[in-house]
A and B are shown apart, each in its own frame.
Chain A
Amino acid sequence: MKHIFLIFTLSLALAGCADQMEKLRQVYTVATTTTVPAEVVRPAANTFDILKGTAANFASFCIKNNFAPVGCDVDTRRKISTFVREGTKARVELRASLATGQPALSTVYNLLVAAVTGLQGTPAATFTGG
């Protein structure tokens, strides 16, 4: 339990940093470069995958409960499905570039980041098992 408190303290500290990062985000954008290197693509792909996994868990929860819980409505399901679909397409394209040693296009990378950001704004991102 002591560890859990430590983690929550760290999480709160991270939340404070996230506010600062939000301000910085308005200044810097990846789109200013034509391509992005592999070490940039990997963390983005990892993050998307983790969110996609959470979205799949949330989807199973909705299905098991006949779409009755909050966040299982048609509009939200459509949003989640679209972000997952577009993010997956971008991730596949980016990973294919890396596999062949080609630089990844920042336009595609930005699509992946948009999918991550979009999923973060849905109930799927905070779903912890119902």
Chain B
Amino acid sequence: MNPTLIAGIILSSLTAIQSLLPLLGVAGASSTAVVNIITALTKIIPVLEQLAPLVSDEISLIYQGIKNIIANLRGDAVETTTQQDADLDALDARVDASWNAIANQFDPDAKPTPSTGP
């Protein structure tokens, strides 16, 4: 199974999730469209669960992130908020480390790292 294919699928899911964000906390949570999207995302999860062992750790972390997004949107009490926060802490740390490792080379406005020489 091609991991890049899985990544593409996950990104498609994210496009839908991103559309929901401005609506959260307002009346949108009860709208039919929101419920339909959550239902569709929920159907994807079992398939991702089957594929998850085949792909990298990074994709597994993303999978957990999406799973928690759905749990939040549905108001599921399956996982405690403490566990969700712990998962999010792990994801925060992982992506921050990945970005920080390359930011200075990628960002055209990055300030040069001070020299540690004599």
Q: Name A's B-contacting residues (CB within 8 A).
A: 3-4, 6-8, 10-11, 13-15, 17-18, 20-22, 24-25, 28-30, 32-33, 36-40, 42-47, 49-57, 59-60, 62-63, 74, 77-78, 80-81, 84, 88, 91, 95, 98-99, 106, 113, 116-117, 120, 125-126, 128-129
Determine whether the beta carbon of A128 is less than 8 Å from that of B13. Answer: no
Q: Name B's A-contacting residues (CB within 8 A).
A: 3-5, 7-28, 31, 33-34, 36-37, 40-41, 43-44, 47, 50-51, 58, 61-62, 65-66, 68-69, 72-73, 75, 81, 84-85, 88, 91-92, 94-96, 98-99, 101-103, 105-110
* A-B contacts, 15 listed (Cβ < 8 Å): A14-B13, A15-B15, A21-B34, A25-B19, A50-B14, A50-B95, A53-B91, A53-B94, A56-B102, A59-B105, A78-B107, A84-B99, A88-B99, A120-B18, A128-B4
Determine whether the beta carbon of B95 is less than 8 Å from that of A7. Answer: no
Closest 10 A-B residue pairs measured CB to CB?
A21-B19, A81-B107, A56-B98, A11-B12, A59-B106, A129-B4, A14-B16, A43-B69, A46-B65, A128-B4
A43 contacts which chain B residues (CB < 8 A)? 17, 20-21, 24, 68-69, 72-73
Across the interface, B40 reaches (CB within 8 A) one of A13, A25, A46, A129, namely A13
Determine whether the beta carbon of A49 is less than 8 Å from that of B91. Answer: yes
Determine whether the beta carbon of A40 is less than 8 Å from that of B24. Answer: yes
User: Which residue on chain B has the smallest CB distance to residue A113?
Assistant: B21
Determine whether the beta carbon of B21 is less than 8 Å from that of A116. Answer: yes
Give the CA-CA distance A66 to B104 in the complex, in Å.
14
A44 contacts which chain B residues (CB < 8 A)? 21, 24
Determine whether the beta carbon of A30 is less than 8 Å from that of B98. Answer: no
B96 contacts which chain A residues (CB < 8 A)? 52, 88
Determine whether the beta carbon of A77 is less than 8 Å from that of B92. Answer: no
Determine whether the beta carbon of A47 is less than 8 Å from that of B88. Answer: no
